[in-house]
Chain A
Amino acid sequence: MIGLRRIAIGLASAVAFAAIAAATATVGAAPEPQTIKLTVKKFEYSLKQITVKKGTPVVIEITSQDRQHGFSLPDFNVRADVNPGKVVRVAFTADKAGEFDYLCDIFCGDGHEDVNGKLIVEE
């Protein structure tokens, strides 16, 4: 009886190990988020173009160097207020290929219309 019980425990452990290994393999297969640092000031973003691969989870860390700005990427339903002295993070998955505009959507002055850039999602 003891021997059979040990064998049963051993089998259960093996099954559990295999499940954990499989789970670990699944987590390991997920794409790593791509983190992009972006600053904004009157009247430009530091990056006029951001390029990522389709399917990539993207995190953009945005910092304002002067006043309140906005960050809006309407095609991915992403927007945030960007206040000086605080890093703002927006996250999304680049799940469609193409070129998409991002822009400041809080009026910031004479050059407000120039505060924009393009996200390029490559196949």
Chain B
Amino acid sequence: MAANITKRDFMKLAGVGGGAVFASSLPGYVSSAAAAQKGEFYFVQLSDTHWGFTGDKVNPDPKGTLPKAIDAVNALPEKPDFIVFTGDITHTTDDDKERERRMVEAKGIILKGLKGHRIYFLAGEHDASLDNGAAFKKHFHKLTYYSFDHKGVHFIAIDNVSDPKALIGEKQLAWLAADLKKVKKNQQIVVFTHRPLFDLAADWDWATPDGQKAIDMLMPFPHVTVFYGHIHQENHFMTGHIAHHAAKGLMFPLPVAHSVPKKAPIPWDAAAPYKGLGFRGVEDQLKDAEIEIVEFPVVKA
């Protein structure tokens, strides 16, 4: 069973610290913003920074947006347990040297700006699809898929971009099956990936052709949440009991699927700079695997 989740369905909005708290009444979510104050830990998700992109009509501040987002992360009242970048850290180019230069530059800005933070990187197709992840492995993370544990939660990074056909692939799926064998049935699982694992809009390239295989493997576990990027906007979707949350990007927003005849970046709004861009904090209550998502803008209005 799959279902679009609308804010009307389950979310209520409350302003907190320049961001917005989305709290759900569904299992897997807390029911009030106040509960965020009691959380056991939280992490920050940044996505689709597209370092190297140029296009004044879309973002006249391409070199300033990421640093501003980093400043906003550093201004959070509490230091997150870790930060995850869910892909498309760089904007691709056919020039291999320039592509690597962008990676080195982006990594330098991130590591300097977020010094002292624990950071996890995932690749997007712009980082990895032209060379099957070779440059990403060299500059960001030695593996494109991996898992780790934090405070009893099992985190899994799934790579659906190193294959230019956006396949997870049988080798990685076998690894995932073996990894899940180590997870206790009631243990909370959080999945990071770049593209949606489900068919959000295959005709807009917003899908993972074999993503359903990964979802099927995760289905036996009652507490699973997926965080991804790629679509440059918030989206909340359920496949059965598994919630999938897409994050805003940090270079340009994209329209809702099929809301316009052609997929294209939303033009910059001079009256509302950085509109549609942002990052999120994810508060994990641990108890009952409750998760709360807090959306933050790049700059405060």
Within 8 A of A (CB), among B72-110: 91-94
Question: Given A107-B125, A107-B130, A107-B166, are A101 and B94 also a contact pair (CB < 8 Å)?
Answer: no
Number of A-B residue pairs, CB cutoff 8 Å, is 43
Decide yes or no: A101 and B164 within 8 Å by CB, A107-B129, A109-B94, A110-B94 being known contacts. no
Asked if A109 contacts B166 (CB within 8 A), the reply is no
Q: Shortest beta-carbon distance, A106 to chain B, in Å?
A: 5
Q: When A103-B205, A105-B205, A106-B165 are in contact, do A113 and B263 touch as well, CB less than 8 Å?
A: yes
Pick the contact of B91 from A101, A102, A110 — CB < 8 Å?
A110
Min CB distance, B191 to chain A, in Å? 22
CB-based contact A105/B165 at 8 Å: yes
Give the secondary structure class of B's interface: loop
Contacting B at CB under 8 A, from A88-111, are 99-103, 105-110
Q: Is B149's CB within 8 Å of the partner chain A?
A: no
Segment of A13-21, A23-31, A51-59, A69-77 engaged in the interface with chain B:
A69-77
For residue A103, which residues in chain B have a CB less than 8 angstroms away from its CB? 203-205
C-alpha spacing A99/B164, complex, angstroms: 26
Q: Do B203 and A101 touch across chains, with their CB atoms under 8 A apart?
A: yes
Q: How many residues on the B side are at the interface (Cβ–Cβ under 8 A)? A: 18
* Bound-state Cα–Cα, A100 to B203, Å: 8
A73 and B92 CA atoms in complex are apart in Å by 25
Q: Does B202 contact A (CB under 8 A)?
A: yes
Closest B residue, CB atoms, query A75: B203
Specify which of A73, A75, A110, A113 is in contact with B205 (CB 8 Å cutoff): A113
Contacts of A116 in B (CB 8 A): 262-263
Cα distance A116–B125 in the bound complex, in angstroms: 17
Name 7 interchain pairs, CB-CB below 8 A, sorted by A: A72-B202, A73-B203, A74-B202, A109-B93, A110-B92, A110-B93, A116-B262
Beyond A100-B203, A107-B164, 17 additional contacts (C-beta under 8 Å) are A42-B94, A70-B165, A102-B203, A103-B203, A105-B166, A105-B205, A107-B125, A107-B166, A109-B92, A109-B93, A109-B94, A110-B92, A110-B94, A112-B125, A116-B262, A116-B263, A118-B261
User: A residues within 8 Å of B by Cβ?
Assistant: 42, 68, 70, 72-75, 99-103, 105-110, 112-113, 116, 118
What residues of chain B have their CB less than 8 Å away from a CB belonging to chain A? 91-94, 125, 129-130, 161, 164-166, 202-205, 261-263
